[in-house]
Amino acid sequence: MRHSGYRHRSLSYYNYHSSLRARLLKHLHRPSKTAVLFFATTILLCAYPAHSQSLSAQDKGALTKILKENETKPPSEAVLAQIQALIDKYPKDYYARLVMGNALDRVGMPMQAIEQYQLAVQNGPDSPQAVIELVKAQIGVGQKEAAMRLLTEASKRFPKDREIAFWMGNYYLTKGQIKMAEERFAEVARTGAPFFGMGTALAEIQLRQGRYGLAAAMVDNDLEKNPLYPLGNAIKGEALFAMRRLRQAEPFVKIAYAAFPFKQDYAKHMAEIYVAEGDYLNALEPTLVALANSSRSGEPDKTSEWLLSTVLSNAPRHFIKEQIPLLSDKIDKQFKSGSWHFAAAEILDYHGYHDVATTQYLRSFQLDPTQYLAAYRIANNLELYFQQYEGAIQYLSQAHALNPGSSEISDRLERLQSRLAGRKADLAWQLKDMLRKQPSPI
């Protein structure tokens, strides 16, 4: 079992980046939401004056080096500061904005990245690369129609640009329009030599059509050029995973998960691999991410629930109690939803982690104050496991106010209030509580 380094690898990375967000947002241009949407749909229809400043060869070389390094690892704080310094020096240069957009995307700030890409397109209207990066970012956050509008305009302005045609194919792929995607990719292949990313895109088509072996083979050309290419590793890992070749899939899934830790499939596959290997410590984080992701649209999927139950059954209790609060803080930065906390709390309760479960019910209730079941579960645990009767009455009262028609809640509230009124005269009850009393988790 591989225990070493699990905590620093998973938590220190995110803690650093979350603190970085606040500092970066102070410096980044922040157009209004309305302006952004309007700008995104019209930007390629407009002409912009050429900027008066241009990058020196040395500064452009430094930015190009950063862009290349960003392919394999997220940028450090020092690198982001270096880009910001060049933006301050060349505020109208499109390439500096483009590299900043790429860097922000890599540290998990996609909306801020889009703003930088928009400025790159504005300052470099003759650069198809700026358009391509903006389109990639928009597709990544689900702004597919805006991306399509940009691509349509870009294909008119840059009719011979093969990358524009390639990303039109990728757009169709994200929409599930496989035939149209294949037609675009075939067009790109006919007009010149294949470029980086083509193999991965074609492999994704094979993956979606269930030809897993072919998908795993077709991505190899891109991975030979860049073994750490996240999307290529994701496709390769997913293809091998689908064939249940978990040991072979592991190195590829690890790279994809490290680059995109909050994507559902990558997190779930990573968790399943760790669980299959008996590495329950490293499995906890991707398991919680998978649970949080699947809970956003309703009930969590059964696989994610099973994964968490398996981890809780096998990991040391002190580890679970220490890590759940830390990982909850981390995941809440991405998924501000009470539903996943409630789902996690139910499984924690079942496995006897009543203190941790209670704090998870509380998070659920704080994030969604209409969730009467969360308030009821808090009250239940406070009464049964921690002898916090006043607190239990408080949360039972809130649950009753939210769901006054529930006889179970109203009966329990009335019973507890009645019992508590006579507690001072019940020495046996007081002694029993004294012997089993535990500190309140909230």
User: Quick one: three-class SS letters along the chain?
Assistant: CCCCCHHHHHHHHHHHHHHHHHHHHCCCCCCCHHHHHHHHHHHHHCCCCCCCCCCCHHHHHHHHHHHHHCCCCCCCHHHHHHHHHHHHHCCCCHHHHHHHHHHHHHCCCHHHHHHHHHHHHHHCCCCHHHHHHHHHHHHHCCCHHHHHHHHHHHHHHCCCCHHHHHHHHHHHHHCCCHHHHHHHHHHHHHCCCCCCCHHHHHHHHHHHCCCHHHHHHHCHHHHHHCCCCHHHHHHHHHHHHHCCCHHHHHHHHHHHHHHCCCCHHHHHHHHHHHHHHCCHHHHHHHHHHHHHHHHCCCCCCHHHHHHHHHHHHHCCHHHHHHHHHHHHHHHHCCCCCHHHHHHHHHHHHHCCCHHHHHHHHHHHHHHCCCCHHHHHHHHHHHHHHHCCHHHHHHHHHHHHHHCCCCHHHHHHHHHHHHHHHCHHHCHHHHHHHHHHCCCCCC
Residue 304 has which token pair? 């994610």
Say how far apart CA 205 and CA 361 lie, in whole Å: 42
193-260 matches 10-159 in CATH topology: yes
Q: What is the pLDDT of residues 38-54, one digit of tens each?
A: 343 343 334 333 343 67
Look at residue 35 and tell me whether its pLDDT is greater than 90.
no
Model confidence pTM above 0.75: no
The tokens describing 184, both together, are 């675009």
**The domain at 10-159 falls in which architecture?**
Alpha Horseshoe (1.25)
Instruction: Enter the tokens of residue 331.
Output: 């995941």
Q: What is the dihedral of CA 83, 86, 87, 91, to 10 degrees?
A: -170
Q: Distance between CA atoms of 384 and 205, rounded to whole angstroms?
A: 54
Helix (H) or strand (E) holding 397: helix 389-402
| Three-state DSSP class for residue 1 | coil
Q: What is the pLDDT of residue 409?
A: 95
Per-residue pLDDT tens digits for 339-365: 999 999 999 999 999 999 999 999 999
Cα–Cα distance between 174 and 169 in angstroms, integer?
9
**Does the pLDDT value for residue 17 go beyond 50?**
no
More confident residue, 13 or 86: 86
| pLDDT the model gives residue 362 | 97
At 363 the pLDDT is 96
Report the CATH architecture of 193-260.
Alpha Horseshoe (1.25)
pLDDT 10s digits, 125-184: 778 888 888 877 776 666 777 777 887 888 788 888 888 888 888 888 878 888 998 888
What residue ranges do the domains of the chain occupy? 10-159, 193-260
